[in-house]
A and B are shown apart, each in its own frame.
Chain A
Amino acid sequence: MRVTRRKILQTAAGTAALSAIGGPTFAQPGAGEIVIGSLHDLSGGLDVVGKPMEEALQLAVEEINATGGLLGRKVRVVTLDTQTNVQLCAQYAQQLALKDKASVVFGGITSASREVIRPVMRRFNTLYFYNTQYEGGVCDRNIFCTGQTPAQNVDKLVPYVTRRWGKKIYVIAADYNYGHITADWIKKYAKTSGAEVVAADFFPLDVNQFGPTIQKIQAAKPDLVISVLVGGAHMAFYRQWAAAGMSSRIPLASTTFSVGSEHIVLSPAESDGIVTAFNYFESIDTPVNQAFVSRWHKRYGSGYPYICEMAVATYQGVNLWAQGIRKAGSLDRMKTIEALEDGVSFDGPSGKVSIDPATHHCTLDIQIAECKDRKWQIRETFKQQKPVETAAVCDLRKNPGENKQFVVKV
């Protein structure tokens, strides 16, 4: 092709036009706005968990902006939908850190996604809040975990169910890091309660036929079954369990039931009697929670099915971060971390939530509740439980450069 003056002029004009089209897609932050990132699964299999977390984040930010924002500036949320696809987590985490220059990122639901996002956030010096209950052990100064850990929920659930129903436990769990590590924790806390885990079966996330499992459970004759099943396909277990008439024969406890609003989707016959231990239940009877629930219903409709624990953990996480910013008086990451390590707590819908400086996890209340008619009846409350299992292996004050997840050895 001959290079003519006409060709050069055309190419230059075309390039100018293209870059003008590309221009407006780069978000220009308003003058002095604080940008925070939201990285949740809003579509795909985990949308039933991700959407409430996103809604909780928006509610918290709206309340902050209504009182004048932070440091005199408004807070703006950049939301990216990771579509239940772990690859997108890495990509979008990088985008939030580099392109949007977020001051903090809230997000990641499964432990798999957290372990993808965490190193990215650390590499690009962006603060990260992980607001989902998980298997414990993460020791990283750049992350704050507001979800409950096994020392908080499993350690309370296992003695309760052992006392109530008996000492032989059958565990069924999802076949990935959370399921395996939680099953190990159940074994550990069973030993300390004098109980015994007779068997632990693991199921990949897409298995939805549990016929042989139900018969094997009957053959093992346990006193109770603890379910660590996750996701939509595993919900079929509760259907098949009730269809086989097992609900009245062997009691069920779970560390994950209701996270995906299972008690709303299933019928009362399939969900009654299941016992869980969580930080938050919508039926918690305190003025703070009642006010929160009515604010939530005003914002999202009174017909909202159920406000789940992860949504409240996200709400509490945002408020804890806001407190850290106010205390630090600046958006600087290190100053914020030091402020958050200096005794920050928040009176949330689930009770008082305080950040533990040594582990960057939270001290919080735990309730044990039983499902009846699609509602949770709280049976026991344990106030201000510390994240002891992580505290046993992780001290960020002594080793601030620590960056790993410790795994329990049973």
Chain B
Amino acid sequence: MDYVAVIAVEVLNAIATLVLVSIGLAVIFGMMRVINLAHGEFIMLGGYAATMAVKWGIDIWLSMLVVAPLAVGLAGAVLERLVIRHLYGRMLDAMLATWGLSLLLVGLTTAFFGTTTQGVQSPLGATSIGSYSVSLYAAFVITMAAVVCLLLYVLLRHTHFGLRARSVMQNASMAAALGMHPKRTYAVTFALGAALAGLAGGILAPITGVVPTIGVAYVAKAFITVIGGGTSILAGTVAASTVFGTVNQLVSFVATPVIGEVALLAVAMVLIRLLPQGITGRFFRGRI
């Protein structure tokens, strides 16, 4: 019985990690149809921002939850202005540009910080479920994923900015004709997506450590989740994360983590074959 509870916690942890890692990409891809291949590097930068902030003496919670998203959001805003702005509507060119961006960010980080893995100690302790010891950090990750989804929902549904963002997403020319600024909305949305990626990096830094090449592992999973999720930003990401995270963890428990990854990819292939528009192309249509 304890073992089942422990498995459940690990499954929720995996789902929450997927949600955190993918939500930034979902915002950028869902709103602007920009394939941001530098998403993994944004996560990496968030991890480095949190780690460096802790090294400079800032409290770890502030580093993870405030410094990391702010720093990466700012970087995202600057990069949007310089690079992405010229590529809306040009999907393949955006892919190439953001791929180059990701290489640039990896190179810059390596030049500044070297390739040794760094990190901070996990701030929470552990607790017991029966005779098993479970990290409390898993509970923190799950809580943060839920909070992020809730805040994003409130932002998109109940604020003016959310209304503007959704209308620009649906029909940019009509929104422009009605007096909104699509370009400005895009800029803020890109910064928001980057900030969310930075937040994910900051939250994951204590359990994985940071190294310049860590983004590569995340970008693949994030893309699979976003594409599998479909057009709805929140509902799609949560639904796809649930499916993939559950399969990944359960198979990892039965076999090894490698087979768990294989199972995740196999399920993704089947899903895309059966539902080419993603999960929210068929279920939960019209939700945010």
Show the binding face of A for B, using Cβ within 8 Å: 43-45, 47-48, 175, 201-204, 206-213, 215-216, 218-219, 232-233, 235-236, 239-240, 242-246, 249, 260-261, 265-267, 269-270
- What residue in chain A is nearest B118 (Cβ atoms)? A265
| Chain A: CB-nearest residue to B114 | A47
- Answer yes or no: B142 CB below 8 A from chain A CBs: no
Contacts of B135 in A (CB 8 A): 211, 240, 243-245
Given A211, A246, A267, which contacts B121 in the complex, CB threshold below 8 Å? A267
Residues of A within 8 A of B138 (CB): 211
Kindly provide the distance from the CB of A168 to the nearest chain B CB, expressed in whole angstroms: 16
B1-51 contacts to A, CB under 8 A, are 3, 6-7, 10, 13-14, 17
Knowing A47-B116, A201-B256, A269-B121 are in contact, say whether A239-B132 is a contact too (CB < 8 A): no
Given contacts A211-B10, A212-B10, A213-B257, contact A219 B3 (CB under 8 A): yes
Contact B121 A270 (CB under 8 A): yes
Number of chain B residues whose Cβ lies closer than 8 Å to a Cβ of chain A: 44
Residues of chain B with a CB closer than 8 A to A206's CB: 216-217
Residues of B within 8 A of A47 (CB): 114-116
How far is it, in angstroms, between the C-alpha of A175 and the C-alpha of B257 when the chains are bound?
12
- Beyond A243-B206, A245-B135, 12 extra complex contacts between A and B, CB < 8 Å: A47-B115, A47-B116, A202-B258, A208-B217, A213-B257, A215-B10, A215-B134, A233-B209, A243-B137, A244-B135, A265-B117, A270-B121
Which of A43, A245, A260, A261 is close to B133, meaning CB atoms less than 8 Å apart?
A: A245
Measured CB to CB, the closest approach of chain A to B259, in angstroms, equals: 11
For residue B277, CB closer than 8 A to chain A, the reply is no
What separation, in Å, do the CA atoms of A289 and B112 have in the docked complex? 34
Question: Looking across the interface, which residue of chain B has its beta carbon closest to that of A249?
Answer: B133
Give the complex CA separation of A204 and B117 in angstroms. Answer: 17
Cα-based distance from A233 to B257 in the complex (angstroms): 14
What are the 4 A-B residue pairs with the smallest beta carbon separation, nearest first?
Answer: A245-B126, A232-B117, A243-B122, A244-B135
A-B contact list, 8 entries, CB within 8 Å: A203-B256, A209-B257, A212-B252, A213-B257, A236-B207, A239-B121, A239-B206, A239-B208
Task: Identify B207's interface contact among A48, A212, A240, A269, CB under 8 A.
Answer: A240
If A235-B209, A239-B119, A243-B122 touch, whether A215 touches B258 (CB-CB below 8 Å) is: no
In the bound assembly, the distance between CA atoms of A265 and B114 in angstroms comes to 13
Name A246's closest neighbour in chain B (CB-CB). Answer: B133
Chain A residues within an 8 Å CB radius of B10: 211-212, 215
* A211–B250 alpha-carbon span in the complex (Å): 12
Given A175-B258, A218-B133, A265-B118, is A209 in contact with B126 using a C-beta cutoff of 8 Å? Answer: no
Interface status of B246 (Cβ within 8 A of chain A): no
- Please name the residue on chain B nearest to A202 by beta carbon: B256
User: B211: which A residues are within 8 A, CB to CB?
Assistant: 45, 232-233
